[in-house]
Structure 1
């Protein structure tokens, strides 16, 4: 009887809920040993199961990243690392003018610099295992819609880093893949809508005149997406495909909306794309302000 092979390791950050948790479960179901980064003990207890080993991981804390690298390096079974799924992230829908600069820095720490730090720490193991880096971007990494400036800025940057890294480490046998979800029904969508509603109450009168209707429209559109967006399990299946495909594509989209928006971004001039995006958002504006948009 041939012994079953030792399962390879996959690291998934931001696995407390949503896409990350669904991805951890999907990869464990496919036979991988998943090191699932979570923020709290109760998240770890909820996720722990066959093939899933939760670890407390805040990707902005260097000591957490060092502990993760040590866990991988000292794996008791000497398992190879198949993939790092950089999934952790914070959603924000705020006009560029009103988002405090310190909050810009904090957002980039989580949505970009943390991913770079984890990738740097794990690249030696990924090179040894001929593994791959899966960066979870967003349709916002291809098109920056109104109030998505801060969030899209982090995702555009993540896409650029991914392109550079892919070209740098391809000779070492490590592949880099970007996954671009559109609307996915997760807690992140709900948090984004709540943040937008909270923001509306903090605008100055002048800012309220400029952005009040826009912020309300974005909140309404985001709330709508919780109904028609794809489930987290759909995103997890795409990510699992990126992990397991013999020759993965450099980019995958998740959901029809992401596929459509990225296609339009490739073929439409900027001004025409502006008009399409504005027309899509217009039905969500408060009635009294629709005429101005």
Structure 2
């Protein structure tokens, strides 16, 4: 697992260990590893944007004479932030893609020979944002749309080599990642230029309030971890799993509604969360 320090990642690691698997659990800090370490869970320091960390993980897997075949690579490391397309600096876009997309590609490229040799599986943790881009989700959703595309291509490329590729699309999940995303968004919004504050400040406030409301009703990290563990281990997995009722609903709507009607549905859902002095921005309800 590429990101198991907290939340869904830690819950998935514990569930896989409970099912009898030995989990190499990627963590960013030794303290996170100490908190996670247990029977069946071996924390490894891993930053998927650092080539040396990825190489060390490959060496750990391939040099162990007692190692069992690599059953699955779970690509779940990630960061979230909600920011308008215009306002998010290009260097921040690039940093987001480094973690949420390119790091996963690096892990896949590094471990594919081992996965092919053992008939393993790749589980990419996308998001409901990989199917529908809400207002202020542009940068984050872009990384997840890209991961969905990579997963589709990879599944078709590897089908004759015995490696399955599964995508998991969580919606609202009560986890530390959600809290960190809200904190990062608030910090970002506070330092926007005054003209961008006027243009997008109310929209960001509404998006944060809506997200908080959804997360309050969302699945627990343990429930999400159980679904991810299923995706990694059951004999015949589906190509995609949604996590949570909100994810299932939005994915279904993106399949059946015309774009402009979907725009109006999304705008209507956001409107109750807008500050009372604000009017719904035109851009929210138009394509």
TM class by shorter chain equals: over 0.9
CA contact (8 A) 1:196 1:218 kept: no
Give the one of 238, 261, 265 matched to 2:250.
Answer: 261
Q: Aligned pair 1:277/2:274, yes or no?
A: no
Give the one of 154, 160, 164 matched to 1:171.
Answer: 160
How far apart in 2 are the matches of 1:205 and 1:65?
A: 41
Aligned twin of 1:202: 191
Pairwise mapping of residues 1-293 of structure 1 onto structure 2 (< 5 A)? 12-290=1-279
Gaps (5+ residues) in structure 2? 283-287
Gaps (5+ residues) in structure 1? 1-11
Count the aligned residue pairs.
282
Classify the secondary structure of the residue corresponding to 1:260. Answer: helix
Report the Cα offset of residue 254 of structure 1: 0.1
Q: Identify the range of structure 1 (218-227 vs 117-126) with the bigger mean alpha-carbon deviation.
A: 218-227
How far apart in 2 are the matches of 1:149 and 1:195?
A: 15
How far apart in 1 are the matches of 2:213 and 2:177?
A: 14
Q: Runs of 4+ in structure 1 displaced over 3 angstroms?
A: 290-293
CA contact (8 A) 1:143 1:265 kept: yes
CA contact (8 A) 2:174 2:215 kept: yes
How far apart in 1 are the matches of 2:192 and 2:95?
A: 20
How far apart in 1 are the matches of 2:155 and 2:92?
A: 29
TM-score (norm 1): 0.94
> Over aligned residue pairs, what C-alpha RMSD do you find?
1.1
Classify the secondary structure of the residue corresponding to 2:100. Answer: helix
Report the Cα offset of residue 237 of structure 1: 0.9
CA contact (8 A) 1:194 1:219 kept: no
Report the Cα offset of residue 235 of structure 1: 1.0
Report the Cα offset of residue 291 of structure 1: 5.7
Report the Cα offset of residue 292 of structure 1: 5.3
TM-score (norm 2): 0.96
Classify the secondary structure of the residue corresponding to 2:226. Answer: helix
